[in-house]
Amino acid sequence: MTTQAARCPLHTSDYTTSPHPAVFDELADSGPVHRISLPGEVPAWLITERELAERTLRDPRLVKDPMRVARYGHPVGSRRVPDDFASVGGRTIMNLDGDDHVRIRRVIGRRLSASALATAQPMVEAFVHHRLDTIARNDTADLIEDFAVPLVTDVIGRLFGVRADFARAIVTHGSKLFGPQHPEAPDMVEAYPLLVQALNGALDEGSSKEGRDDLLGDLLIAQRDGRLRKREAMSNLALLTIAAADPVIALISRGVALVQADSHARTELLHGDADAVVESLLREQPPIPFTGWRFATEPMDLAGHSVAPGDAILVLIPAANRTVNPGYRQGHLSFGGGVHRCPGGHLARIETVAALRGLFSRFPDLQLELPFEKWVWVGGIGPRVPERVPVLLTGAAR
């Protein structure tokens, strides 16, 4: 076996200025596995080939919990990179394995399943129309601040049972903690106590209401029954709220650019199979470029490379999605794979379809004021969200 010693920097010069940084294609075209350098000079292995990615995401020798490999001294799990907040911000479905992962997933899963969300579409569409009525008061809008952010906050508030101001604070401060700044930057240090304050407020208010039928109620009941610790209830509420926000905001904004430029996609969206349009968008422009890291618990061979115990491994989703094979278990890896597959995929699809259909039905001549190629992107290895998407609501059918 051979080990590739040189590490490729992940955040290249065009990482914030390109919707698809050149390094993604360079890595995909030059081999199935690479040694990369995350911000903070943290090393990791990156998989770009689909079949290997599928196997890796289901390999029992790889774990999500950094505590299980802490003795090997890997810097991931010690808040060295911004996205490491997912590892050290509390015990969640994102950083637990085995029985603990199953225990927590059982509490939250029933609210986010396809069957549970089957009746949610009218509610989501109502929120979309409310936001469309709001932006229709002007000739221009920022689709991030004026539409997508308040929309996902509305939906989260209703489905999760979190008051709107708490939901907005959790999304705002939580998203910052997953952002590109150094963990010790003043904004990042300030964001954590503000996030905890919002979470405590949501849990305290939820505890004061009897008989509630929502995700927050499920977390509180599980905490009361001893199935969850309070810190677990808080951490998973934070994770689910943030995960239900930024990826959807990224999908909506990318979808607007696609549909505005592609007449066939617009026809399909408005008069054909809108779900297929969003599925294609997910495959070709995943809102999160990397799967969450997994850690090797023993020496492994990864396409001829020697992986040591404790090493972190990620999958480059846009590269892995390029290959379509009927033998694969799922059409794309944009929501991850294996037992840690994102539980919010169904909700993300419903929101994105409703948002895109609503926007282009209400504003058929909507125009981007800033071309897609000139958007500024915020995010690290987590969701990459445009900083702003200014649009002209030309020819609005009000």
pLDDT of residue 4: 44
Residue with tokens 């003795």: 71
Q: Enumerate the β-bridge partners of residue 314.
A: 46
pLDDT of residue 248: 96
Is 5 a residue whose pLDDT tops 60? no
Cα three-residue angle 321-333-249, rounded to 5 degrees? 100
pLDDT digits (tens, 9 = 90+) for 93-114: 888 999 999 999 999 988 898 8
**How remote is the C-alpha of 133 from its chain's centroid?**
27
Continuous H helices in the chain: 22-29, 50-57, 85-88, 98-112, 121-135, 149-160, 164-177, 186-207, 215-224, 230-243, 246-261, 263-271, 274-284, 317-320, 345-362
Residue 398 — very low, low, confident or very high, per pLDDT cuts 50/70/90? very low
Phi, psi of 34 (to 5 degrees): -140, 150
**How remote is the C-alpha of 169 from its chain's centroid?**
17
Cα three-residue angle 188-289-329, rounded to 5 degrees? 135
pLDDT of residue 82: 54
Domain ranges of the chain: 8-392
Q: At what angle are helices 345-362 and 121-135 packed, to 10 degrees?
A: 40
Which class does domain 8-392 fall in?
Answer: mainly alpha
Position with higher pLDDT, 272 vs 380: 272
Report, as an integer, the average pLDDT of 362-388. 91
How far is residue 363's CA from residue 238's CA, in Å, rounded to a whole number? 34
Residue 325 — very low, low, confident or very high, per pLDDT cuts 50/70/90? low
Angstrom distances, CA of residue 152 to CA of 149, 168, 194: 6, 9, 20
Angstrom distances, CA of residue 79 to CA of 66, 83, 171, 178, 188: 11, 8, 20, 11, 11
The single-letter code of the amino acid at 4 is Q
Phi, psi of 141 (to 5 degrees): -160, 155
In the 3-class helix/strand/coil scheme, how is 267-332 assigned residue by residue? Answer: HHHHHCCHHHHHHHHHHHCCCCCECCCEEECCCEEECCEEECCCCEEEEEHHHHCCCCCCCCCCCC
pLDDT of residue 319: 95
pLDDT of residue 3: 43
In percent, the amount of the chain with pLDDT more than 90 equals: 64
The single-letter code of the amino acid at 246 is D
pLDDT digits (tens, 9 = 90+) for 123-156: 999 999 999 999 999 999 999 999 999 999 999 9
The burial of 175, by beta-carbon neighbours within 10 Å (0-12 exposed, 13-18 middle, 19 or more buried), is given as buried
* Mean pLDDT computed over every residue of the chain: 88
pLDDT of residue 125: 96
Is 369 a residue whose pLDDT tops 80? yes
How far is residue 113's CA from residue 102's CA, in Å, rounded to a whole number? 15
Three-class secondary structure of residue 29 per DSSP: helix
Position with higher pLDDT, 4 vs 14: 14
Phi, psi of 342 (to 5 degrees): -55, 125
CA Rg value for the chain: 21
The burial of 376, by beta-carbon neighbours within 10 Å (0-12 exposed, 13-18 middle, 19 or more buried), is given as exposed
